Structure 1
């Protein structure tokens, strides 16, 4: 038995034509000849008429499995004061009836949709279900064969395909999530993202690897916004330079040379405007060429870039305001462009010792850069100036400046050292003055700037560069007056020409300064960050440190020889890692490794002589030989790995 069948079996009969029977109060009773209210028996006696046939029982009677008289409301519902509701029967449906119901306006044809009596939660067929609203534009792909139980037909009044869909459901059927059905019907299958082109990958590689070491170009989000708005035609020139830099970190094949040629061509087109974006493009190309052993070409472009920067007044305080268009991030980018050009000019002059740090003598009142996180997030504070930095100790406003500012200060100390005349004697007053500058720079650093980590324990690349510039300046200041014989390392000249240093009988103060700075540089290699995230100028600083270590290792007897070997291992490993991108690092790695092997062979030849081991215990002899063999096996293994690649 079906308790919720639309029509009770015992109360229905079928006519000869197959149409469902109707009740006595139907208009069809007057015209129908196939159904009568009284029948005759064989004995001629009149029999009482059978109970009237009811086409559909109300919900209340159906739920109690009781007969319903079909009235509206029915007798049982009237007596019990219960709401009387009918639903249409679909059993034996042959199509709509030809005559509309007139006597009972509350009844309806079986083919019509149920009347909407208000909100969905008031409908007996939707009890316990929360109505779900679906926006009309999102159902363009809706399947009309699927009935959503939570929806009323009124919700789809604008959708012709749903005008005749009923909302009936089996109350005993498992609940169906209408949201899931709608999403399954209208959600398009996921599509694969388009594959990035080589040019796009190079652009992304620029920001991923390079931008942190020279952060003067706009942050990526702001740059793309400027590019979309077409802020300057020279943005396309800058994009070409950024693409070339990014190609250095990827396997681009011949495209790398194509990107370089295109960037230089765009920079020197007669139609290219002379503005800050052109300065940025030239500076990127200069750094890339210098790290790729194209130093002569890099110096030519550097001279043009410096001349152009002074011509457009990039060194003036007003430039950022005039060309920033009210955008604080763009104004900060212009300030950083001048100061990064200043720092790069100093590093090129310091490590290669060919140029003379031209911008050191140029008057500039440009505002100082802010912290990196402020630049990247667009929260730019009002800028400070160099006079504020110089007078902080005496003005009583002893505050903390940005890491970029301490990087500028370190480069400025390097310039002051380069302006000193040749110092031939250890007691020269100029040496004391420069050493006072370097010592004061270290002593007055805030606590948060004394190492290369920021407050979040992440590498602070600006302070990292500031520290290695100071260490390199210390070596250049004291090494000529030290007592480390430099003749064994004269072949290491990839960054700078060899400078002869005479050996002495004992270590003096200059030697200690030199060795300490070289060890500090080697310690910087141990930072838990990828070496390729550093500027390529770190290559020449590591090479300078290696020259000091190898000069010391060439001595016959060293008390801390094992520690010295570890320093040499660190430096050679760092150069090998940097050589994956920078050709200059690959050249330096080959030279340093070659000199180390030569020193090892020289030391091994001396070890054959018995006089060499005078004063050594047997344990010291075995330890020294094993250590030398170990370091040389590592050198050979690195060489084999590089050749295999």
Structure 2
């Protein structure tokens, strides 16, 4: 017999003087129903029965099993003659309370008693022939009910080898020493059994909460102008501005890009746009924050016309409310240093985003570069998130005079990001339409970019911070500078861009004629493109970076593809490194496209151009003139490398078609 649970079914309340019945759905436990037996009154009504005898309170188990009349004595005459043990279980039929003046039968239990405990098989004649059953529970005083085996009634015609006392039926192993089991059953209140390993399950977060969490987990570090999470939730609860609800809607829209939000993403966007432009909306810093989030998201989703429209409104609103003035933070900071820092970061992030959009798309002119501002520079990221804001923030003037002032000051990574964006702005506003190598403006812009790199402190030369974690602000500052280098030197290089003219997802194709040999501009261009590819190898999920990194990778890919298509470029070396750069760029775009639609467009274009260049190279390899200047070993290595990279491209493409 299989072990049974302490919560086994109890005797049916409908069971009468017949054999007790137990029902159970579990296999291996008894499943019987009440078996009808002739009562004493029914026996008198049948003519074949002897005259009516005095009814007995209950029949013993042996007589019940044989459906025979029992005289009710202890032991009864039938058990004495058959030499079997006489066991009684009282009936509850017609019970109206204890009888008065009736001699107590020690073998009977009172109707008010709890169901008796069944001990191991060796002490209970009801379980003859069955293995012992162990009952475990952690509740003192718990008294499980009788459970009968799922077999036919046992015969008691042969002498029982058991000599245990009848009180073994009532034995409770959890009763205190010296206490009778019946007394314990009468004095112990019912106890509900609760599994000890039950733990409370946390509530399932809603989709809105998941999008909110995704915003802070994936996005906030790349554009850290919104208040840190705890500060934002506290001020939202305080209701300091109704426009914080607009920021919340915009944050959920951004977070929905990183989770499977379905149609909710469009709903969050529509809600945020509606709130931004409803007539009752007041212009304040929170409105600027909401618009800036929408601008970044729409640009990454390739909805650039709408993004530029919002950018124009956002810049106009920011200037109208004096967000570009130093006193704005103190006037609207409510005496909260973290909120004041958030306002400074909002202006400067709007400045940087304006520059990034102008630089990578070449469709705007970086309007904010020409706007006067005296807003203090942001602090370090750990100071912002910990709330330890410097009491006297440094200014842009302090940053520009650091070389000549003689004062040893430490500026934040955000400040170097702003400086990189300002170099981009100067280049865009001073770059000649038709550049010439000896133009002084070209030399001045290069000096700005070189000085930015030369005067970086040791802690800022790498993208890793002091705790070996990625410094996203310096990461962006470095790739802005590398992109500026390509934009400055590529028009003067010897790299013909016509093979990559189909790569126009970020910006229109800019034709560059091919030269006869390498020059310094070509070297600057190639070096910057390789540095951008190297940044993909940082030990951080690439989707945590700003989506503007997509267009920077694309800019680098155009350089790599132009090199690969021109066979006169470094024919005796660097081929394998070049192919690895192309692999890195395509792999990085492949990861970013999981979130950003702009990356998906760039990924398809870069991969398609790489395949076309490979087909052209393979056709040229048939001609013996192609291999002039190559050794046999170099020829074999070049062919194998080309076959390897194109096989990888083809496998990626086939995998995408299969998934689609």
For normalisation by structure 2, the TM-score amounts to 0.69
Residue 542, structure 1, aligned to residue 556, structure 2: no
Query: What's the CA shift for 1:400?
Result: 1.7
Match of 2:257 in 1: 248
Query: CA deviation digits over 1:598-637, x for unaligned, max 9?
Result: 1100100000111111232222211111110100011112
Query: What's the CA shift for 1:366?
Result: 0.5
Which of 623, 632, 635 lines up with 2:646 in the alignment?
Answer: 632
Structure 1 residues 594-633: aligned runs within 5 Å: 594-633=608-647
Match of 1:198 in 2: 207
Which of 335, 346, 350 lines up with 2:355 in the alignment?
Answer: 346
Q: 1:616 to 1:266 in 2, by over 3 A?
A: same
Residue 320, structure 1, aligned to residue 329, structure 2: yes
Q: 1:378 to 1:186 in 2, by over 3 A?
A: farther
Query: What's the CA shift for 1:230?
Result: 1.2
Match of 2:398 in 1: 388
Give yes or no for contact 1:553–1:564 (8 Å, CA) kept in 2. Answer: yes
Residue 461, structure 1, aligned to residue 475, structure 2: no
Match of 2:353, SS state, is helix
Match of 2:39 in 1: none
**d(CA) in 1 for partners of 2:614, 2:588:** 20
For normalisation by structure 1, the TM-score amounts to 0.71
Match of 2:580, SS state, is helix
Residue 332, structure 1, aligned to residue 341, structure 2: yes
Match of 2:373 in 1: 364
Query: CA deviation digits over 1:194-239, x for unaligned, max 9?
Result: 1111111000000000000000000001111111111111111110
Match of 1:520 in 2: 531
Q: 1:145 to 1:229 in 2, by over 3 A?
A: farther
Query: CA deviation digits over 1:279-306, x for unaligned, max 9?
Result: 0000000000000000111000000000
Query: CA deviation digits over 1:170-206, x for unaligned, max 9?
Result: 89xxxxxxxxxxxx99999532111111111000000
Match of 2:279 in 1: 270
**d(CA) in 1 for partners of 2:556, 2:596:** 18
**d(CA) in 1 for partners of 2:639, 2:460:** 42
Which of 304, 309, 325 lines up with 1:300 in the alignment?
Answer: 309
Residue 433, structure 1, aligned to residue 460, structure 2: no
Give yes or no for contact 1:207–1:220 (8 Å, CA) kept in 2. Answer: yes
**d(CA) in 1 for partners of 2:461, 2:650:** 37
**d(CA) in 2 for partners of 1:170, 1:284:** 74
Residue 572, structure 1, aligned to residue 572, structure 2: no
Query: What's the CA shift for 1:422?
Result: 2.2
Comparing 416-425 and 213-222, the one that deviates more: 416-425
Match of 2:602 in 1: 588
**d(CA) in 2 for partners of 1:636, 1:588:** 17
Query: CA deviation digits over 1:70-117, x for unaligned, max 9?
Result: xxxxxxxxxxxxxxxxxxxxxxxxxxxxxxxxxxxxxxxxxxxxxxxx
Match of 1:419, SS state, is helix
Structure 1 residues 72-221: aligned runs within 5 Å: 190-221=199-230
Comparing 417-426 and 257-266, the one that deviates more: 417-426
Query: CA deviation digits over 1:367-393, x for unaligned, max 9?
Result: 100000110110101311000101111
Residue 374, structure 1, aligned to residue 374, structure 2: no
Match of 1:406 in 2: 416
Which of 508, 522, 530 lines up with 2:541 in the alignment?
Answer: 530
Query: CA deviation digits over 1:321-373, x for unaligned, max 9?
Result: 01100000000000000000000000000000010000000001001000001
**d(CA) in 2 for partners of 1:224, 1:262:** 20
Match of 1:109 in 2: none
**d(CA) in 2 for partners of 1:398, 1:518:** 33
Match of 1:98 in 2: none
Query: What's the CA shift for 1:423?
Result: 4.3
Match of 2:553, SS state, is helix
Match of 2:383, SS state, is helix
**d(CA) in 2 for partners of 1:307, 1:374:** 30
Give yes or no for contact 1:291–1:583 (8 Å, CA) kept in 2. Answer: yes
Which of 281, 288, 293 lines up with 1:279 in the alignment?
Answer: 288
Give yes or no for contact 1:423–1:430 (8 Å, CA) kept in 2. Answer: no
Match of 1:212, SS state, is helix
Match of 1:29 in 2: none
Match of 2:464, SS state, is coil
Give yes or no for contact 1:492–1:592 (8 Å, CA) kept in 2. Answer: yes
Match of 2:477, SS state, is helix
Q: 1:490 to 1:192 in 2, by over 3 A?
A: same
Query: CA deviation digits over 1:530-569, x for unaligned, max 9?
Result: 0000000000000000000000110124321111000000
**d(CA) in 2 for partners of 1:281, 1:542:** 27
Match of 1:105 in 2: none
Query: CA deviation digits over 1:118-169, x for unaligned, max 9?
Result: xxxxxxxxxxxxxxxxxxxxxxxxx9989xxxxxxxxxxxxxxxxxxxxxx9
Query: What's the CA shift for 1:250?
Result: 0.9
Residue 553, structure 1, aligned to residue 537, structure 2: no
Q: 1:482 to 1:324 in 2, by over 3 A?
A: same
Match of 1:381, SS state, is coil
Give yes or no for contact 1:423–1:431 (8 Å, CA) kept in 2. Answer: no
Comparing 611-620 and 242-251, the one that deviates more: 611-620
Match of 2:496 in 1: 485
Match of 2:514 in 1: 503
Match of 1:211, SS state, is helix
Residue 562, structure 1, aligned to residue 576, structure 2: yes
